[in-house]
């Protein structure tokens, strides 16, 4: 879009939308002009929602899921099976797994996957914190199983095997979701039935 004929506020909003993952130039332009045509109240509501997320949402100090309270509702619940921890890459993966209704344990969010090309090594993820949780035997329900729910792609596989190697000395059972998930697919996009079968058919590493 030519900068000489486009007002600067429109250019700026297109640029900001374009910074979002999965948003290309055409989509950024469509979103911008949609907001331009929308009532001011809709734009204000969107801006308020964004600021609300930044101001009120934090990470759980236990599992590193997104939350308004610390610890999060799952970590604080007495109805969860506390001897199981399911390790996921992103908070969105928890939403996908919870929709299946198949899992009642706890979670641990890594916030990414090992990807040397992107400069992401094990030290950039929440792996050390996971090891601390697994090795902590002071609670009334020590961790007995760690389920690795990584994406079935190269970074996900590299992350899963890195964690497995570090957990192999602890004596804790380590499993991985069954291979019903498509190779290269993200966990958050899998349907509930596929995810449920992957959970129930998880395998030893």
Q: Say if residues 114 and 121 touch (Cβ distance below 8 Å).
A: yes
The confidence score (pLDDT) of residue 6 equals 87
Cα–chain-centroid distance for residue 49? 20
Q: Say if residues 175 and 203 touch (Cβ distance below 8 Å).
A: yes
Which residues share a beta bridge with 148? 87, 176
The confidence score (pLDDT) of residue 65 equals 98
Cα–chain-centroid distance for residue 54? 17
For the entire predicted model, the pTM comes to 0.78
Q: Report the alpha-carbon distance of residue 155 to residue 187 in Å, rounded.
A: 13
The confidence score (pLDDT) of residue 169 equals 87
Q: What is the mean pLDDT of each successive set of 10 residues along the chain, which is 205 residues long?
A: 78 96 95 96 96 96 97 96 96 94 96 94 96 82 93 92 93 84 61 68 65
The confidence score (pLDDT) of residue 178 equals 72
Residue ranges and CATH numbers for the domains of the chain are 8-56 (1.10.8.420), 59-204 (3.40.1360.10)
Q: Report the alpha-carbon distance of residue 205 to residue 202 in Å, rounded.
A: 9
Q: Report the alpha-carbon distance of residue 110 to residue 124 in Å, rounded.
A: 9
- Residue 95 has φ and ψ, to the nearest 5°, of -60, -40
The confidence score (pLDDT) of residue 152 equals 84
């Amino acid at each position: 879009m030519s900068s000489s004929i486009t007002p600067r506020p429109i250019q700026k909003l297109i640029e900001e939308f374009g910074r979002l993952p999965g948003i290309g130039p055409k989509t950024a332009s469509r979103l911008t002009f949609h907001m331009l045509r929308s009532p001011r109240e809709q734009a204000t509501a969107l801006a308020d929602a964004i600021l609300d997320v930044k101001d009120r949402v934090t990470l759980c100090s236990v599992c590193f899921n997104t939350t308004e309270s610390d610890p999060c509702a799952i970590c604080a619940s007495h109805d969860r099976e506390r001897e199981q921890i399911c390790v996921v890459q992103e908070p969105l993966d928890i939403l996908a797994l919870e929709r299946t209704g198949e899992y009642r344990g706890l979670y641990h969010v890594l916030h990414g996957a090992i990807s040397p090309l992107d400069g992401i090594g094990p030290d950039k993820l929440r792996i050390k914190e996971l090891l601390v949780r697994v090795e902590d035997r002071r609670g009334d329900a020590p961790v007995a199983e760690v389920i690795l729910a990584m994406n079935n792609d190269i970074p996900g596989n590299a992350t899963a095997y890195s964690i497995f190697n570090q957990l192999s000395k602890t004596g804790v059972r380590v499993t991985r979701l069954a291979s019903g998930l498509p190779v290269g697919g993200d966990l958050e996009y899998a349907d509930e039935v596929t995810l449920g079968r992957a959970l129930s058919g998880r395998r030893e590493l």
